[in-house]
Structure 1
Amino acid sequence: MVKAAILEDVEKLRVVDYPEPEVESNGLLMRMELCGVCGTDMHLYNGNMKIPYPVIPGHEWVGVIEEIGEEAKGYEVRGNTLDVGDRITVVPGTNRYCGDCYFCRFMPHKPTLCTGRKVMGVNMSSAEIPHLLGGWAEKIYVNAEKFWVYKVPEEVSPEVAVLNEPMAVSSRALERAYAPGLPTYKEGFGVGQSVVVQGAGAIGLLAVATAELAGAGTIISVDVVDERLEMAEKLGADHIIDMRQFETADERVAEVERLTNGLGGDVVIEAVGIPVAVPEGINMTRRGGKFIEVGHYTDPGNVEINPHVICNKDMDILGSWTYPPTQFGTVLDLMRLAADRLPLDEIVTHKYRVEDAQKSIDTLKARKGIKHALTGP
């Protein structure tokens, strides 16, 4: 039997035992080593998203293959052969159950817009066989024909690989600032350009790390928690703006301008998820710069924005909704580059067993730690 934490209804989490499923030719059963607990999981728990209960939450995991079908051995997306004992990570979302909606047909380069998109740990119920369709379980069943499977490089530890999914979100957000643009003429992100990141949770911190690895110039992190601000500096932030010291939006905007020769950030990434951060981030962006909105995956309400500021700055405002499945490959390469440069393995500060998933939720609600993860058997 396999222990799993299932969400049965709003704020109703229970630990159950599921039987191990039979592995089909195109599938694999993996032992979960680590699975992140993230903001989306909290939204699911709080009932902010419509899902088909019961659901095993968790969509950020790394683990080791315990059993694999013959077909699945050839489904590693980079062409590697998969076998028992391999450490892998899996892109949790796929549009391969659809293919017929408008976005699948006419915008295949943006699979995350698919109206029939399936996401393990989010909108796939555990009610029926194979049950184990989320990361908060000791073992996870993956249809390797439908979901992209990546073999984890030897240089990347499980403590780092578990960050693959949130770093895919962060790195794609920064990549949104690349185009359209001419970096040589300060349009779009380029080497040596300034990046401001609002929020130093996992997404914000990994945006800082991505900017550092991508060759950004001045990197500024904005937050209110000492532990997070200290981690931002470890990951490459040249300056931090402590919101307890700079209490108003005007003060924080003025500090960004001071640190960027009076201009504002070339790129500003909003990773807070609070509406009032959006107009503040727009004001932090220099004229001709780019503002990237990646923090609002659910709808927390409205905020007032002055459209004259956008027009006057001749700026770009770009949304970033998850990532294409190719982004996992980008992140694994970034993680290899970061191995001796950045302490990505320090981002996960709290670990809990699957049966203690509720403790992780309660601790997160108390805003303790940076990143939480559940551990496997």
Structure 2
Amino acid sequence: LAVGIHAVRRSGIQVGDHVVVLGAGTIGLSCLQFAKLSGAKILMVADFLAPRLEIAKKLGATHVVDLSKEKSVAAYLEKNPQIMGEEGVDIVYECVGVEGSMNECIKIARKGATIMVLGVFGDEVNHFNAAWVQDREFNIMGSLMYTWRDVTDTVDAIYTGKVNVDAMITNVVDLDDGAKGFEMLDKQAKDNIKVLVKVSGKE
């Protein structure tokens, strides 16, 4: 969660902004929740896994895009221009870490928009339309982790109920079964977002 609040702060989000989150994993859903708390007006989340999109809706997404059914977010917005209206997309949070997702960002963002890169890229991005970055005057920023302030504010948000962590925890295992938790994330990725490992008998 602290990764999400850090990225949202770095993005300079404003009340009323139109936001798209690419990727509905732990980080994407964290960005979603803190963008909502920051006053975003439209919150669109895109992912290939329908169960994750259902959770995104519970956490405040105003729109979701199932990429197992839609060609791309850009194509979806082209078919539904009323969603973003003339204002367009102010901020895109890239939480996937693949070349196609990065290019999707620059296709959907309005001129002068901010693109926050949180996804961990395993490979180099070899095909990237830099001409669009220059022409549309995008602000592209990376966001890696968090500060101590981000951590303390996240704890406060959890304690006061401003964010929903329960919806993001899809399984709980005992410490002795920690390996089982990793296996769930590896082999049952579509059914899991965050597996919580209990370090004591109390939850």
More helix by share: 2
Q: Is the aligned partner of 1:343 residue 2:177? A: no
In structure 2, distance between residues paired with 1:250 and 1:238: 17
Deviation of 1:257 (Å): 5.0
Aligned to 1:356, the other structure's residue is in SS state: helix
Match of 2:140 among 317, 323, 328: 317
Aligned residue in 1 for 2:43? 219
Instruction: State the Cα deviation string for residues 81-118 of structure 1 (Å, max 9, x = none).
Output: xxxxxxxxxxxxxxxxxxxxxxxxxxxxxxxxxxxxxx
TM-score using structure 2 length = 0.89
Deviation of 1:255 (Å): 5.4
Mark the runs of 5 or more structure 2 residues left unpaired by the alignment.
Answer: none
Instruction: State the Cα deviation string for residues 209-253 of structure 1 (Å, max 9, x = none).
Output: 111111111000001112210111111100001102212464245
Paired residue type of 2:9: E
Matched residues, number: 198
Deviation of 1:262 (Å): 4.7
In the superposition, relative to structure 1, how do residues 320 and 268 fare at CA in structure 2: closer, same or farther (>3 Å)?
same
Paired residue type of 2:107: N
Aligned-residue Cα RMSD (Å) equals 1.9
In the superposition, relative to structure 1, how do residues 354 and 255 fare at CA in structure 2: closer, same or farther (>3 Å)?
farther
Instruction: State the Cα deviation string for residues 49-76 of structure 1 (Å, max 9, x = none).
Output: xxxxxxxxxxxxxxxxxxxxxxxxxxxx
Deviation of 1:376 (Å): 1.5
Paired residue type of 2:168: I
Aligned to 1:326, the other structure's residue is in SS state: helix
Instruction: State the Cα deviation string for residues 122-155 of structure 1 (Å, max 9, x = none).
Output: xxxxxxxxxxxxxxxxxxxxxxxxxxxxxxxxxx
Deviation of 1:203 (Å): 0.6
Aligned residue in 1 for 2:180? 359
Quick one: percent identity of the two aligned structures?
27
Q: Is the aligned partner of 1:171 residue 2:1? A: no
Q: Which has the larger radius of gyration?
A: 1
Please tell me whether the aligned partners of residues 256 and 284 of structure 1 are also in contact (alpha carbons under 8 angstroms): no
Please tell me whether the aligned partners of residues 253 and 280 of structure 1 are also in contact (alpha carbons under 8 angstroms): no
In structure 1, distance between residues paired with 2:79 and 2:140: 21
In the superposition, relative to structure 1, how do residues 255 and 328 fare at CA in structure 2: closer, same or farther (>3 Å)?
farther
Instruction: State the Cα deviation string for residues 32-60 of structure 1 (Å, max 9, x = none).
Output: xxxxxxxxxxxxxxxxxxxxxxxxxxxxx
Aligned residue in 2 for 1:235? 59
In structure 1, distance between residues paired with 2:154 and 2:80: 28
Instruction: State the Cα deviation string for residues 304-345 of structure 1 (Å, max 9, x = none).
Output: 1111111111110011121122211221232244x1x65322
Of 246-255 and 367-376, deviating more is: 246-255
Aligned to 1:247, the other structure's residue is in SS state: coil
In structure 2, distance between residues paired with 1:249 and 1:193: 18
Paired residue type of 1:205: L
In structure 2, distance between residues paired with 1:219 and 1:249: 13
Deviation of 1:363 (Å): 1.3
Higher relative contact order (CA 8 A, sep 6+): 2
Aligned residue in 2 for 1:375? 198
In the superposition, relative to structure 1, how do residues 214 and 336 fare at CA in structure 2: closer, same or farther (>3 Å)?
farther
Aligned to 2:91, the other structure's residue is in SS state: strand
Mark the runs of 5 or more structure 1 residues left unpaired by the alignment.
Answer: 1-166, 179-188
